[in-house]
Chain A
Amino acid sequence: MKILVAIKQVPDTATQVKIGAGGKAIDTTGITWIVSPYDEFAVEEALRIKEKRGQGEVVAVCLGPDRAKEALRSCLAMGCDRAIHLNDPAWANVDTLTTARALAAVIKQEQPHLVLCGRQAIDDDMGAVTAQLSEVLGWPCAAWIMEESVDADAKHVRVARQVEGGLEAFDLPLPAVVSAQKGLNEPRYPTLKGIMGAKKKEIKDLKAGDLGLGAEPPQLSIVALEALPPRPPGRVIPGDVPTAVKELVRSLREEAKAI
């Protein structure tokens, strides 16, 4: 069984982000880059499926600039068999739809049985690529899965999606696209052997032209990045607990009108 995992390289959550010159992107100086955490759940699940079946191939794919290779290298260190890097200046300002179309083109070449993504990348938090990819491919899709099991002959995958108030379980005929929610698994750390081995694994570079894609103008573009408006200064309520609690409740009712 062949599984393709689509990942994204993003700034570490704890990294300070500053608006860069031009005002439409962040200043990338000094940023620590990581594999988006939800994508790690997707990688882990793909590896588990392969391990459980005792055979198969897991291919990691990432669209991004040169530095994104490091993210793919991390996936190889976790255990992915090979990687594909969609690296082309034509994709510098991609939106979710262009990303989905590029991924779909790779998927048509690779013909995996299952595509796993993270529920969203934690940089732009758009969370649209999984669904758009399934639409471009015409495949069934289940977002935010908490459980997954592929049947013995790799014809169907049963998933449980997290929804308001519970879980909904579905059977999807393969090939299908699913996205991982936290709780699906606990991603492994790469072993030293894995890290060493990753250096020898293949990362194939592809450009838009290799996939038969032209330069498409994005359908959604960033006009500007802005800092958050400052919150009005708050106050720490002094006094012993009974006094402070009374004052808090009074403030919530009379000033904030929040209760």
Chain B
Amino acid sequence: MAGAIWCVVEDDRKGTPKKVMAEVIGEAARLGGPVEAVWPTDKATEDGLKQLGSWGATKVWLLENPAFAPYRSEVWAGALAELAAAQSPKAIFGPVTSRQREALARLAARLGVGISADSVAFSMEGDKLVATRPVYAGKLLSKVTWAKQPWVATLRPNVFRPAESQAGKTAAVERPSVKIASAQMKFIERREEVSTGLPELTEAEIVISGGRGMKGPENYVILEDMGKVIGAAVGASRAAVDAGWRPHRFQIGQTGRTISPKLYLGFGVSGAIQHLAGMRTSKVIVAVNKDPEAPIFKIADYGIVADLFEVVPALTAEFKKLLEK
């Protein structure tokens, strides 16, 4: 029997798969499946398991053990490798997250196979999988293929069409026993970021970004106000981060976060190559800048050449009107 495509589950650390898993499962199904979820976690909820089934996983390999939390790559990679050796999946997919970009690279090394990180498309060419991934600051696309199975890949969030939830579809839950390596590294603490009340940058469907044109840290509040109205994350360009206006975790671009939202709104962002590297796969791009020559207008779907301090409050008011209807 042909091996399955495994989707390694990213959860919210409270027993529920993140919605990015619908994208991973959706793509695995389009490639012909069979789709199986593998879930290393300290605790899975019944609803979480049902959710994986309703997205289209036919089986869930549940690796439930306190050792999986907090995440450490050495524990994850060992357990996944043992299960992979026993079950011979043809592919192992996971979303690009802080955990999986590390764990799946480590897993690929243990299995002695290739990894395609941050993939944005897949196709089957004959009996081989070919992945497409952005390279050189997103200026080119690289198509890559594997010498042997399992084909290990991480998938950029917000790029692949998510599987629809279908009531009544369920997954068989298997609880295989695997050896849990004792971790060499010791967890000390988790420091939560001060919550902005807005979505996480890499997970948001709408992202607002403020560049050098914001003129100072005190002005980001107008972007956050808009963010609250439309449910958007608020990020910044490197120029704004380097000026000390926003913490580094909000930086979008080559030396920051890579985002791919449904809608990107850039205010006072010039569109330097290194910023474009982090956002050019956004589906719809809006740019507002006083300078009509700003490079961001070259890739924007909609542009307004005007002072952002006039546009932002007017736009927030207009969004409010629309969404209150």
Contact = CB atoms under 8 A, between A and B. Distances in A.
A242 B318 CA distance: 9
Most chain A Cβ neighbours within 10 Å, of B115, B145, B323: B115
B193 interface: yes
B303 interface: yes
A237 B118 CA distance: 34
A49 B256 CA distance: 24
A127 B106 CA distance: 11
Given A17-B139, A164-B203, A131 B106 contact: yes
A220 B311 CA distance: 47
Given A226-B132, A241-B307, A256-B263, 13 more contacts: A11-B136, A14-B273, A26-B136, A96-B115, A135-B106, A168-B189, A169-B188, A182-B256, A183-B249, A227-B140, A228-B141, A236-B303, A241-B310
B162 interface: no
Interface of A: 11, 13-14, 17, 19, 26, 37-38, 95-97, 100, 122-132, 134-136, 139-144, 146, 158, 160-173, 176, 182-183, 217-228, 231-232, 234-237, 241-242, 244-246, 248-249, 251-253, 256, 258-259
Contacts of A136: 109
A242 B314 contact: yes
Q: What is the predominant secondary structure among interface residues of chain A facing chain B? A: mixed
A114 to B, nearest CB: 13
A200 to B, nearest CB: 32
B198 to A, nearest CB: 12
B135 interface: yes
B116 A144 contact: no
Contacts of A144: 98
Interface of B: 70-74, 77, 97-99, 101-103, 105-106, 108-110, 112-118, 130, 132-148, 183-193, 200, 202-203, 206, 230, 248-249, 251, 254-256, 262-263, 273-274, 277, 280, 283-286, 292, 297, 299-307, 310-311, 314-315, 318-319, 322-323
B301 A245 contact: no
Nearest to A156: B186
Contact of A259 (B206, B274, B301): B206
A256 B206 CA distance: 13
B304 A220 contact: no
A246 B117 CA distance: 40
Q: Which of A95, A168, A172 has the most CB of B within 10 A?
A: A168
Contact of B315 (A225, A228, A232, A249): A249
A235 B189 CA distance: 49
Contacts of A124: 135, 142
Which 3 pairs between the two chains have the least Cβ-Cβ distance? A220-B114, A219-B114, A128-B105
A19 B135 CA distance: 12
Contact of B98 (A163, A173, A258): A163
B255 A38 contact: yes
30 contacts: A97-B112, A97-B113, A97-B115, A126-B118, A141-B106, A163-B98, A168-B70, A168-B71, A168-B190, A170-B72, A170-B187, A182-B255, A182-B256, A219-B108, A219-B112, A219-B113, A220-B147, A225-B141, A228-B139, A231-B285, A235-B301, A235-B302, A235-B303, A241-B306, A244-B311, A248-B302, A248-B304, A249-B318, A249-B319, A259-B319
B135 A123 contact: yes
Given A125-B117, A131-B105, A252-B286, A244 B248 contact: no
A253 B325 CA distance: 13
A179 B146 CA distance: 26
B134 A125 contact: yes
Contacts of A249: 315, 318-319, 322
Given A223-B143, A259-B230, A241 B314 contact: yes
Contact of B248 (A37, A122, A183): A183
B270 to A, nearest CB: 13
Contacts of B274: 13
Contacts of A123: 135-136
A253 B132 CA distance: 30
A165 B193 contact: yes
Contacts of A19: 140
B140 A26 contact: yes
B38 to A, nearest CB: 18
A218 B263 contact: no
Contacts of A226: 132, 140-143
